[in-house]
A and B are shown apart, each in its own frame.
Chain A
Amino acid sequence: MSFTFRLMLRDIRSGDLVTLLMALIISVSTVTSIGLFIDRLQLSFEQESANLLAADRLIRSDEGISNDWRVKAQDLGLQLAERTSFSTMMFANDALQLSQVSAVTDNYPLKGNFLVDDTLFGTGFAFNESPKTGEVWVSSRLASLLNIKIGDIVEVGDAEFSVAKYLVRDPGSSTSAFAISPRAVINLADLASTNVIIPGSRVRYSLLLAGARDELAQYEEWVTPQLKEGQRWRTPTQQGERIGDTIGRAESFLLLAGTLAVVMSGVAMALASARFVKRHLMQVAILKTLGATPKLLTKVFVQQLSVLFVAGALIGLAIGWGMQEIIASLLAGLMSTELPEPSISRLWLGASTGLVSMLVFCIPLMLRLIKISPLSVLQPNARIEQNTLFVYLIGFVGMYGLMCLYTNGFLLPSIMTVAILGISLLVAVIGWSIFKLGRSLTSGATSGWQIGLASLYRRLVPNLFQLLVFTLIIMLGLILVGVKSSLIADWQQQLPENAPNHYLFNVQSTQIDQINNETDNLNIERSDWYPMVRGRVTAVNETSVQELYPEERGEPELYERELNLTWSDTLGQGNELVSGDFNAEGLSVEQDVAKEANLSLGDELTINIGGNIVTLPITSIRTVDWGTMQPNFYLILPKSALQNYPANFVSSLFISEADAQPFYKTMSQFPTVSILNVGDVLKQIQTIIGQLSQAIQLVLFCILSAGALVLLASVRSTLEERLEEGALLRVLGARSALVRQALLIEFGALGLFSGLIAAIGAETCLYGLQVFVFNSEASFHPLLWLLGPLIGVCVISAIGIFASRTVLKVPPMLLLRGL
């Protein structure tokens, strides 16, 4: 065995290398477990969203799907299914009803399930097949409108179908929110025999794809340049903005958590390296007197660190993998779906965090260690030059680089770095002042109080450093707690339990009172009624939309299709005025669509409403909280402009499962009223939010545990001096109680001040994060101001006393001799 390894084994025995190894393992395993877990969650979100899309990816087209597209998808090994949707009249007995029919292939849907039932107005069960040829599945409402039941025959165009199931939900159609005719599904093979699709029919063709991420990406790259007007590439995250937004924020949170884990790992490595170097200074000097050359020592340390890295990384990766499995299995009971397996390729993240923290924290210190003068053995003060600024700078740059690598961006790392710098400054100023004050108040140390407070100033620099570490760790914890609570509160607020889950459309003004009575009888909550008129924007500031977008490319949503228009004198629930005057005689435009179409106050829009042209200036801009699930509109017109048009009314209601059947039955009295059930979409969103909340709580717990370990490491790093002092005090006759009291005061004070400064820092960081990263409104977090100092005093005193218990138990002689 070589000298390096013999030396290493002896170092392991003494525990010095173990501390370094532990730091490396903590660092690699924390980052790995969080990285892998985030990856699994992301995959899971994609799957959840894919269920809403019925596929991983989808191409929507107003024309038939090109056969080349199918061939290419098959070549890439992707699964494909198709859906063709159109409106048509359905006949049964003597009744007829305009319906929205989807014709689907046998393997539709690729993701998610149909929800069907055998009972009229039943709540449905998942069904993993599509209609067989000759079968039709009809929604309960369609069945009641046509007065048919299972087994009856309905006609669609030239073909006849037998009713096989009541359709509760078609997974791919749940978000095409305004297709309000009652629905039916048939097999695509039957479509031709109906002869309903003729040139000029309004048909929507969809090609659904599922498969591995890489192949999907390849396909996207191949197909997107070929897309023409009326053809769109859709991904699950585009589907349903609310889910996208929720997931986006959760990802930001997890990313933040991971970044903080990276910072904590850095702190752990820095502490362990500093301790290792401190304990090896004399060893290296002695080895030098014995003839060890700098070259040999460099070789020894490089080899030792390499072995350490490989061992630490392997153990850390294994523990990290295990930890995320544990998190996932803890979550399994709470998740409605099984989490997909993590990708092994994500392991590099943990390993490189370990490598970089080793390079930036360990190597510069090791190099200085090797440079120690052998003269130190004769003159202990002839140690190494204190070029600490350089070492810290390297550490800082390395940490910043790691965070950038981790988050794939600069914003979050920059906020964190500025915050840490600010905190360091604050700690230096506040810490120095307080320690100094403590010193001047306690001259002539006799009680534990006085000794404890006085030693804060006596070991000024190490204590300031420790204060910084404590502050950082507590601050990171508080930030996470703050972000977590406000995220979850935000989500819960966004989607209250009884958020409306049904919309009523096509209600005539004469039907409103009657429907109000019926819903009141059933105790169903209802939003206000909004009049609705269809209209299309044809010109902007007297320039026609065709002229503005001659090839119809990149047309903003506002001009692209016929819109639902309303009028109102008051701002509805979830609407907020951004600029202008809502009550002026002009248009009120939703902020996002105004931005997309580059519109501002004063611009004039020309709107074609059933052949009549109305031109109005924009007089106000609003934001709309779509999450309220209230009827909401891009354009609101003044009452004077719309009141003479025949309008339908729209409202939203919350219908519990128990109310569903009586409600549907009641509504069959109003055959012309359209009902849109968005309950399943909502349920899915609520499920995802529930999962996310659980997930981030667990991640938070992991990070805080890692934080506690770092705190312990930090206390241990200054333990020797405290042991020495405690032993001396006891030799000089101090009772154990006095030493314990002094230690308690010292750690308690460190904890209190770090908790307080951490609360200041966390509140500041939260402001930055809320405003810049999460794009939400800044809020004040009184809880943090209580938690910070409390955790500081309790946890740090506990850890301090636990770590220094030897000071109080071991005979002082033994301690002095060992030092």
Chain B
Amino acid sequence: MANSTAIKVTNLTHTVTSNTGNLTILKGINMEIQESESVAIVGSSGSGKSTLLGLLAGLDVNTSGDIFLYDQPFSSQNEETRALMRGQYVGFVFQSFHLLPSLQAIENVMLPAELKGDKDARKKAKELLDKVGLSHRLTHYPNQLSGGEQQRVAIARAFASQPKILFADEPTGNLDEENGNLIIKLLFDLNRSQGTTLVMVTHDNDLAKMCDRQLIMSAGHLTENKL
């Protein structure tokens, strides 16, 4: 299978200013992630995993270096263009779900399609909630759902825009084992069925091992874990 490059990172450096002085979190990172690949980024707390994820998704601006999505410059774009590219390529699943509390489950899932002006947003959202097994919870609000259910809504929302790349930040971090396994199964199933590239930050080695590749973040450097 001739995969194209979904994400390309060259010489990525990120420095933040804190009250104790400048702190370089990422030190010259280079990597490539191919389309449809699943990649786990592991490392200890504070190693810079989430920072890297934020930069890859264009949520923050790096200090130097470049990030490309499908060969298009991404990190060098302004916020407006990055947002448009996010809408086009990227989906998210967060550790703390980040559903909008004022919206019902179905409305949360409709959001990405609505932002693109999709007229079939509701129908598609319904199908996706059906896929994650929540067709009976469409009009529930997030605080009426259990943690596992909330994360399933979040996954449905992430796939609603049919993203080419899905970023997941500790997707099972707030869940018990049973719910965690359910979520992981869902993520990988959808990843495979839709050909989505999956980039996941996790502490969980078992989960990491389910991915095609494991990248280890340590003291601002990224190394490949050759098993």
Contact = CB atoms under 8 A, between A and B. Distances in A.
Interface string A285-297: 0111111111110
A287 B115 contact: yes
A13 B54 contact: no
Interface residues of A, dominant DSSP: helix
Contact of A378 (B54, B83, B103, B161): B54
Interface in A366-396: 373-375, 377-379, 382
B117 interface: yes
Given A373-B59, A378-B94, A289 B86 contact: yes
B116 interface: yes
A6 B101 CA distance: 15
Task: Name, among A282, A288, A289, A290, the residue most crowded by chain B CB atoms within 10 Å (CB to CB).
Answer: A290
Contacts of B92: 289-290, 377
B114 interface: yes
B94 A294 contact: no
Given A11-B102, A286-B98, A374-B59, A379 B117 contact: no
A9 B101 CA distance: 14
Contact of A14 (B60, B98, B102): B102
A291 B87 contact: yes
Nearest to B116: A291
Interface string A1-35: 00100100011011010000000000000000000
Contacts of B50: 378-379
Contacts of A374: 59-60, 83
A805 to B, nearest CB: 19
B111 interface: yes
A293 B84 contact: yes
A818 interface: yes
A294 B117 CA distance: 16
Contacts of A13: 102
B190 interface: no
B112 interface: yes
Given A11-B102, A286-B100, A378-B169, A291 B88 contact: yes
Contact of B111 (A11, A14, A290, A378): A290
Contact of A375 (B60, B90, B116): B60
A541 interface: no
A817 interface: yes
Q: How large is the interface on A (under 10, 10 to 19, 20 to 34, 35 or more residues)?
A: 20 to 34
A6 to B, nearest CB: 7
Interface string B114-135: 1111000000000000000000
Given A16-B102, A282-B98, A377-B92, A290 B161 contact: yes
Given A3-B115, A282-B98, A373-B59, A10 B107 contact: yes
Interface in A21-62: none
A291 B54 contact: no
B53 interface: yes
A76 B90 CA distance: 73
B70 to A, nearest CB: 15
B176 to A, nearest CB: 16
Nearest to A3: B114
A423 B84 CA distance: 48
A285 to B, nearest CB: 8
Task: Name, among A293, A377, A378, the residue most crowded by chain B CB atoms within 10 Å (CB to CB).
Answer: A378
B113 to A, nearest CB: 10
A175 interface: no
B95 to A, nearest CB: 9
Nearest to B170: A378
A193 interface: no
A289 B57 contact: yes
Contacts of B87: 290-293
Contacts of B212: none
Contacts of B116: 291
Contact of B100 (A283, A375, A379): A283
The 6 residue pairs across chains A and B that have the minimum distance between CB atoms: A291-B87, A14-B102, A293-B83, A374-B59, A375-B59, A375-B60
